[in-house]
Structure 1
């Protein structure tokens, strides 16, 4: 008698088999009769959870929200990371992966744009200060030589 048991999770413990399995076993005993041997019949139900690690990127999103929040991409990535964590907590692995993927893409965009803006700002400040120093140098030379 081959039976396949699918996992049934109730609450935080997840070790309680569903009630219909017990009723099905009682029905089988009633239909088939009592066991021929006097040894007690035991059944074992093994519940296997598939613990797929779904990174929610919440720390990265928080960093981008605080430091690299270009066009609010860091904040939106943080919102998707929280949604991913919520989906993971209720057991929706596919939904959690979807939100995590979106959060990852938004984090990459926020990080790249933030770094580009920092590099551009450094270039503008450095060239601007060089131009100011050059203008002051010419002003001093022209004014001093007059």
Structure 2
């Protein structure tokens, strides 16, 4: 294939017999087609990876058992279970919505429980301190 500038009918126009390389080159052009200078169209396939949606079940269970202020931990646990169910079905958008609600409820339950704990410690301590001091 050292002689690239030959045309397809180069051996037919001359009276000499073609050598092996010329025949091989003509065969490749006939089978593969002539080289094209046009742009090649390509197809792109986007493969979506698994989207990790945190469902906050463990956090909700902890808030249900230990910091269940106004039953927010239990409600958060219910939303976490709904988020896990949606994730198993394949509804990523629904799972994200339920997980977001569960996260907000868990944060509210945590803050409420911490504030209630601080108030439950500070108020009796202050009353005892005022009762002891003259």
Distance between the aligned counterparts of 1:48 and 1:89, measured in 2?
A: 19
* CA RMSD between the two structures: 1.9
Matched position secondary structure for 2:53: coil
| Number of residue equivalences | 91
Distance between the aligned counterparts of 2:93 and 2:46, measured in 1?
A: 20
Q: List runs of 5+ in structure 1 lacking aligned partners.
A: 1-45, 139-146
TM-score (norm 1): 0.58
1:99 corresponds in structure 2 to: 98
1:26 corresponds in structure 2 to: none
| 1:10-49 correspondence to structure 2 within 5 Å | 48=47
1:31 corresponds in structure 2 to: none
2:54 corresponds in structure 1 to: 55
1:90 corresponds in structure 2 to: 89
Distance between the aligned counterparts of 1:133 and 1:67, measured in 2?
A: 33
> Which portions of structure 1, spanning 4 or more consecutive aligned residues, are displaced by more than 4 angstroms?
46-49
User: Of the two, which has the highest radius of gyration?
Assistant: 2
TM-score (norm 2): 0.63
Shift of 1:74: 0.4
Matched position secondary structure for 1:127: helix
Q: List runs of 5+ in structure 2 lacking aligned partners.
A: 1-44
Distance between the aligned counterparts of 2:49 and 2:85, measured in 1?
A: 17
